[in-house]
Amino acid sequence: MDNKILDKAKKWTKGNYDLETKEKVSFLIKNDEKELIESFYKDLEFGTGGLRGIMGVGTNRVNIYTIGAATQGLANYLKKNFPDESRIKVAIAYDCRNNSKLFAQTTADIFSANGMKVYLFDSLRPTPELSFALRHFGCKSGVVITASHNPKEYNGYKAYWEDGGQVIAPHDTNIISEVNNIKDVSEIKFEARKENIEIIGEEFDKLYIENLKSLSLSPEIVKKHKDLKIVYTPIHGTGVKLVPQALAAYGFTNIINVPEQDIVSGNFPTVISPNPENAEALKLALEKAQKTDAELVLATDPDADRVGIAVKNLENNFILLNGNQTATILVYYLIKKRIENKQIQGNEYIVKTIVTSEILIDIAKKYNIEYFDVLTGFKFIAQIIEENEGKKLFIGGGEESYGYLAGEFVRDKDAVMASALIAEATAWAKENGKSFFELLIDIYIEFGFYKEALINVVKKGKTGAEDIQKMMSDYRKNPPKKIANSPVILIKDYKLQTAKEPQTGKTSKINLPVSNVLQFFTENGSKITVRPSGTEPKIKFYIGVKSEISLKEEFNKTDKILTDKINDIKKSLNL
């Protein structure tokens, strides 16, 4: 074993660590070398979603000490960054996961001990409500304790900045530097000053819901279709109260719940993983929808920032839509309805991420709406909103990983908001004599049939991280000349910030921050993106293909052609 790892572990058996932690680390040193290495071989780092990992003892695990070091480092940085503030304010929320309340209270205690004013939610709340609270109270920073849709072994720590968005450069690396400067657990101020902590509750929920309601574009249409049957599941998480409240505030009266999944639990007893991207997580909701003949299924992840949906297809069978499809309909609805309502001022824009469907750009172009394409991570969408605040109007946007946003008062993906707007778009489609799915096909007829697929290659632990690094290195050294027999005509390397045409050798600059992402564009219009996850032990392959379609009756045939295209690409890349 690497002596550095052993030395790090031994430090946790001495000093100011609690007795239980010391005993657990001692046990690993004596009995479980593999777990000891995994727990101490590195320190948890901020990725696209902040600090996230498996709960347990060690520097590479989520526990009160790694949470404590992150909080103390953040507190130290806030003091340096805002030296003229008489009292720095922060807000804290947490989700349903095991230990989330403990970690949130620990975070609140440390901030309060550092002399800061802390707004702490009285119980679990959706992540987007934290973003809203941060802006409402004029906070300089905020924290959500969550691991989003990860399995039950995980927890995490999302850090937010004063704009309400997740921390971005240079603050993210500066905070890590402050965390790394903490050499001993004794430097963390765990002793709370309770007078600095203010508990916020249901009154604030009402304010949040009122703001969500202000985004409604079709209140009269909702009145006509208020009995639209909607099945909703929070998958044991924080959406359990606020999503039904938001739907009710919009005017929907026929919300059908899934009682087994209304139970708040960090063990997620009815699912393997509480991820609305996985069909298995929506199984119970789909069964309820079939029994009740519902028209829409909504499922939010544990911290209610992502939403998955299911609708009836042309054969009247429920199917799951992917994040690109939902984003397509939502952005289309937000633009078209604003035009219909004569609410277009000429300064509107949308934002998508580079791995999200190109159809969003086509929609924006046709209706003369400005668009921005940003790196993966909702914090980059928030950054665009912040930069354009007061000059341009953000009407909506999102990412393929089931995260969407409208309006400017929240600066992170918001499944509470998105659920209400998706339901409203369903009512709008119905008012126009179409199902939600038929609306999607109409969009494909207008802009082209885009189909995307995401392939996750999981590589766990230290060796997995090394494998992922090697895969990216190999793609850079020896990029494919052809993918599925179609020549690669453009390679975008976001780490080198260059776009290169292999046939001509022509290169151009990419004006986005450095990111370890590669994109390959082929002659037949396919787009393949390769990206290591910033929050999970996996490397992701995003595949996008396109075909023309002119009639609704051509949908199934065209869908199969595109599926075959995707399978050919997968085979070509050995996926």
**Residues designated as active site:** 148
Burial 482-504 (b: 16+ CB within 10 A, else e): ebbebebebbbbbeeeebbeeee
d(CA 53, CA 216): 37
Which phi-psi region, left, alpha or beta, contains residue 476 (left: φ > 0; alpha: ψ -120 to 50)? alpha
Cβ-count burial of 2 within 10 angstroms (0-12 exposed, 13-18 middle, 19+ buried)? exposed
Greatest extent of the chain over all pairs of C-alpha atoms, in Å: 71
Token pair listed for 202: 């249901």
Backbone angles phi, psi at 456, to 5 degrees: -100, 125
Is residue 505 within 8 A of residue 366, CB to CB? The reply is no
3-state secondary structure of 59: coil
- With helix as H, strand as E and coil as C, how does 400-411 read? CCCEEECCCCCC
Is residue 107 within 8 A of residue 79, CB to CB? The reply is no
Q: Show the CA angle centred on residue 567, arms to residues 563 and 571, nearest 5°.
A: 170
Residue 167 DSSP class: P
Non-local (6+) Cβ contacts of 248 within 8 A are 255
Is residue 395 within 8 A of residue 350, CB to CB? The reply is yes
* β partners of residue 366: none
- 551 CB neighbour count, 10 Å cutoff: 9
